[in-house]
Structure 1
Amino acid sequence: MTRPNDEEPMLDVARGDPALSQHLRNSLKLLRERSDDPEFRRLADDILTGRRGLRDAATSPVFNRALNPQVERFAQRWEELSDEEKAELAARGEADFAASRERIERERRERERWRRDHPDE
């Protein structure tokens, strides 16, 4: 077995929930990749490396400039969904988070076991 990867920094707004933190990190990475705004890309890098908190960055003009159009598009699409579609999406999201939490916990146990079995590495 190879050495397992260490955990990424927990995002401050996740309140200790590793699945939520990972979801937010993945979303931020995607937004960063799709952004043409160099200021936003730098801000996203700072958040992803833990140099800046998401809570603090979310109030910055750079963050708002990049995300406001995305949020407006989402809100418009959300309003077009039926109540059944909204409920289905919510249930799917909860199931995805539950699966992520299980996977993250399994990976955490594997890291602990590896460190216990390889104390000198």
Structure 2
Amino acid sequence: MTESRDSGRQFDDSELLEMSQGDPAQARLLRKSLETLAAGHGGDALKEMAQEVLSGRVGLRDAVNVSAYADQLIERAAPMAEKWASLTEAQREELAAEGRRAIAAEQERIDEERRAAPGEGDSHKSRHDGRGWSLY
């Protein structure tokens, strides 16, 4: 992929966090979905859309308002909507529970990363970390 004049921009997860109502696990799963689309698992138009969003050149809300992208999203979602409509209430609840488990598992990964993060710097003591300093 060639560098463009916008290549200095970076994707900001804050939009995903806002869209997921402040839930970091849902935001991360949304980002993973975008990464899956960017890898080409949704067709060329959705690949382009996801790459544009992840590069920071366009926001996700703006991207889904582009007719070429919106048309592809609708086309890809239609079979899922039909499948959902054909499910029993018990099957729908099982899928919802599966989704809740996926979100909980992602939140656990986030929590693990946060717990591991403070300990990363402990093994390497900086000259300027202030620990062990004494005037004497």
Give the TM-score range, shorter chain.
Answer: 0.7 to 0.9
Q: TM-score, normalised by structure 2?
A: 0.68
* Separation (CA, whole Å) in 1 of partners of 2:121 and 2:58: 29
Cα distance in structure 2, aligned partners of 1:62 and 1:115: 47
Contact map agreement 2:46 2:72 (CA 8 A) in 1: yes
Aligned positions, number: 112
2:83 to 77, 80, 88: 77
- Residue identity in the other structure for 1:41: K
The normalised TM-score by structure 1 is: 0.75
CA-atom RMSD, angstroms? 2.4
- Runs of at least 4 residues of structure 1 off by over 6 A? none
1:115 is displaced (CA, Å) by 4.2
Letter in 2 for 1:34: H
Matched, 1:50 2:53: no
Q: Which moved more, 1:81-90 or 1:41-50?
A: 41-50
Aligned-pair identity in percent equals 33
Please report how far the alpha carbon of residue 30 of structure 1 lies from its aligned counterpart in structure 2 after TM superposition.
Answer: 2.3
Q: Within the alignment, does 1:93 sit opposite 2:96 as a pair?
A: no
Q: Which runs of 5+ in 1 are unaligned?
A: 1-7
Indicate the structure whose relative CO is greater, using CA pairs within 8 Å and at least 6 residues apart.
1
Q: How far is 1:68 from its partner?
A: 0.9
Would the alpha carbon gap of residues 11 and 53 (structure 1) be closer, same or farther in structure 2, given more than 3 Å must change?
A: farther
Contact conserved, 2:41 with 2:47, CA < 8 A, in 1? no
Q: Which of 16, 41, 47 in structure 2 is aligned with 1:41?
A: 47
Pairs within 5 Å for 1:1-121: 9-10=12-13, 12=15, 13-32=19-38, 33-37=40-44, 39-115=45-121, 118=124
| Equivalent residues of 1:14, 1:21 under 8 A apart | yes
Matched residue SS, 2:79 = helix
